[in-house]
Structure 1
Amino acid sequence: MTVVEEAPAAPEAVPAARRMRPRRVRGERPPRPPRRPPSDEPEPLTLGQATARGILLMLSALVAMFLLSVLVFGQIGYLAAQQQRTDTFQAELAAGTAPVSEGDFEDVLLADGDPVAVIDIPAMGLTATVAEGTSSAVLVGGPGHRRDTVLPGQVGVSVLMGRATAFGGPFGGIGQLTPGERFAVTTGQGEHVFEVMGTRYAGDPAPANPRAGESRLILMTARGGPLAPTGVEYVDATLVGEGMPSGARQTITATLPPQDAALATDTRTVWALVFALQFLLAAEIGAIWAMRRFGWRKAWIVFVPVLLLASLLTAGQLALLLPNLI
């Protein structure tokens, strides 16, 4: 009898993934994946990236604040200055102490910004108090009277200057006045009515010299695009009636301060601009450091108000360096 030996059972198949799994030594921990920053915080900025971002932020804030200072905050400052000048001049008119010369009622030389007249041009919808002086700082608050000329309504030629665009732009529409239109100027000698003779520009022939006893008034502002003047615009007007006696004047054309000339800049406040720039630079350095140390989100919350304030102060000082008729 033949005995057939049974073949040994084949071993159970072992999954390939199990056979290839390396054996882990007891006590050994699997390596952890690299730690990633929180999802709400980006990778830290390099010094170059932080500097570029900070400079871009500073320049953007400076440009924005400059435009706001000239066109928005300047309008608010103009209205506030006009209210103050009007109140002062109305009180002087009521007391009979309004100036009729370059000095006040006590013969003290008028300071820049002291009110001397009120101009009312119905065709432009303009009523503004005129101050003594025509520097950039004076014209921030409204039209100014050039010191080397007589007051409006007095025998001779008087010159009033005003801005065309910035800080309220009170004289921005004088070029639309047509010959024959009338407007009034009130001084300490009463109300004077003027009639427009015409508009002219640099190089155009000026009207003939006024006759004896005649009073002339010249309105001046900048011409050209906004914040980019190409020259000066003049509007000539003559008094309807006889002129008043002119008061004594200490300033003549030869001694007129250079900052009071047409389209002149006033550099007397450059020192304030230097301090404002230092403040802006310090704020910028602090913002760059904070962005690298704490991230741009936290630095944004803290330093944006500081940068805006520094930019506003700097832009305000830059605006004062604009030509006085812009």
Structure 2
Amino acid sequence: MSVTTQARPEAPPEPPPSDARFVIPGVALLILAALLLGFAGNLLLVGHLQHARAQQTGYAELREQLAFGTAPVGRTDIDGEVLSPGTPVALLRIGAIGLREVVFEGTTSDVLMSGPGHRRDTVLPGQAGTSVVMGRQWGYGSPFLHLDELGPGDTIEITTGQGEHTYRVTGLRRPGDPVPEPAGTGQGRLTLITATGGPYTPSGVLRVDAELTTDVFPTPARVIPTGAVGEAEDALKGDDSAWTPTLLWSQALLLAAAGVAWAHRRWGRWQAWITGVPVLGAITVALSGTLTRLLPNLL
């Protein structure tokens, strides 16, 4: 009687060693694809959600301060400390274009992600002198997208710690247009600034000038002299302080991409993507946010 022995299945062959000629370009393409997708997602979706959240929390903070009489009326808070960039200072309403936004202190690219920003070396709205407020045209909520639709006679309403203030639009200015005379003694003016150009491609600066039609409130002593703010707060300027976090997040993205490439080789395609996509997504969103800070603040 013969005994038939069953042949053992052959073990799967070992995968060939990785070829650096293909691995390195693959990792580079993976990084580039993740960065482009994250950057587009940040500008088109995540940035708008971030803006909505910042407006919600900023409005709640400003409303509480107005109720308790502690809202800022100058460049310092009730304790005498200079206001930190990003502090809510006013509520801006323009009925003609359906705008209602909390205004924050400062005009850097970082601050303008939350909403319009008050230039720190100018007076607050409602006070004697010219107050300057900047806002993005397309990104992060697009608060000033329809600013060019305003015309002479339109009304701008602003609420600050000193009360309600109403401005009347006197005109729009584009590059090359004459600059109006400075505000006289006891007069209040407002200049709204945003970018001109196509979607996410700023090419110039649009200014909307308005004059105060309600009572002029006292102006506290200046803490930041005119022109003393950094270049990052000028129109169409980026924030150079974002280079350090950009470098750190770029290194994190490089390591994450290399880890996904290694996992793809060792674990398999789907295992690598299931574990790697959330990590790559989170890092690219953070990196794209810091990259946006390097771009013009009115974008």
Q: With structure 2 as the length reference, what TM-score do the two structures score?
A: 0.90
User: What SS does structure 2 have at the residue aligned with 1:171?
Assistant: coil
Residue from 233, 238, 245 that aligns with 2:218: 245
Corresponding letter in the other structure for 2:250: L
User: What SS does structure 2 have at the residue aligned with 1:255?
Assistant: coil
- For the pair 1:173 / 2:146, whether they are aligned, the reply is yes
Question: Shift of residue 45 of structure 1?
Answer: 6.8
- For the pair 1:70 / 2:43, whether they are aligned, the reply is yes
User: What SS does structure 2 have at the residue aligned with 1:274?
Assistant: helix
Residue from 85, 97, 101 that aligns with 1:112: 85
Match of 1:90 in 2: 63
- For the pair 1:144 / 2:110, whether they are aligned, the reply is no
Aligned length: 290
Match of 2:202 in 1: 229
State the distance in 1 between where 2:268 and 2:174 align.
56
User: What SS does structure 1 have at the residue aligned with 2:256?
Assistant: helix
User: What SS does structure 2 have at the residue aligned with 1:236?
Assistant: strand
State the distance in 1 between where 2:230 and 2:159 align.
26
Match of 1:212 in 2: 185
Match of 2:172 in 1: 199
Residue from 161, 178, 184 that aligns with 1:188: 161
Residue from 264, 282, 285 that aligns with 1:291: 264
State the distance in 2 between where 1:235 and 1:179 align.
10
State the distance in 1 between where 2:143 and 2:126 align.
21
Residue from 231, 249, 269 that aligns with 1:276: 249
TM-superposition CA deviations, 1:111-161 (whole Å, max 9, x none): 111111110011111111111111111111111111111111111111001
Cα pair 2:242 2:291 within 8 Å, conserved = no
- For the pair 1:162 / 2:135, whether they are aligned, the reply is yes
Question: Shift of residue 97 of structure 1?
Answer: 1.6
Residue from 81, 103, 107 that aligns with 1:130: 103
State the distance in 2 between where 1:139 and 1:50 align.
40
Match of 2:3 in 1: none
Cα pair 2:137 2:144 within 8 Å, conserved = yes
Query: Which stretch of structure 1 is more off in the superposition, 169-178 or 251-260?
Result: 251-260
Question: Shift of residue 43 of structure 1?
Answer: 9.0
Q: With structure 1 as the length reference, what TM-score do the two structures score?
A: 0.83
Question: Shift of residue 46 of structure 1?
Answer: 4.2
State the distance in 1 between where 2:26 and 2:271 align.
15
Cα pair 1:217 1:237 within 8 Å, conserved = yes
Corresponding letter in the other structure for 1:190: G
Corresponding letter in the other structure for 1:124: I
Query: Which stretch of structure 1 is more off in the superposition, 140-149 or 307-316?
Result: 307-316
- For the pair 1:301 / 2:263, whether they are aligned, the reply is no
User: What SS does structure 1 have at the residue aligned with 2:206?
Assistant: strand
State the distance in 1 between where 2:182 and 2:267 align.
71
Question: Shift of residue 293 of structure 1?
Answer: 3.3
Question: Shift of residue 53 of structure 1?
Answer: 3.1
Corresponding letter in the other structure for 2:117: G
Corresponding letter in the other structure for 1:197: T
Corresponding letter in the other structure for 2:135: G
Question: Shift of residue 48 of structure 1?
Answer: 2.8
Cα pair 1:47 1:292 within 8 Å, conserved = no
User: What SS does structure 2 have at the residue aligned with 1:116?
Assistant: strand
Unpaired runs of at least 5, structure 1: 1-33
**Percent identity over the alignment?**
43
Unpaired runs of at least 5, structure 2: 1-9
State the distance in 2 between where 1:121 and 1:113 align.
21
State the distance in 2 between where 1:92 and 1:299 align.
50
Question: Shift of residue 35 of structure 1?
Answer: 10
Corresponding letter in the other structure for 2:37: A
State the distance in 1 between where 2:73 and 2:268 align.
63
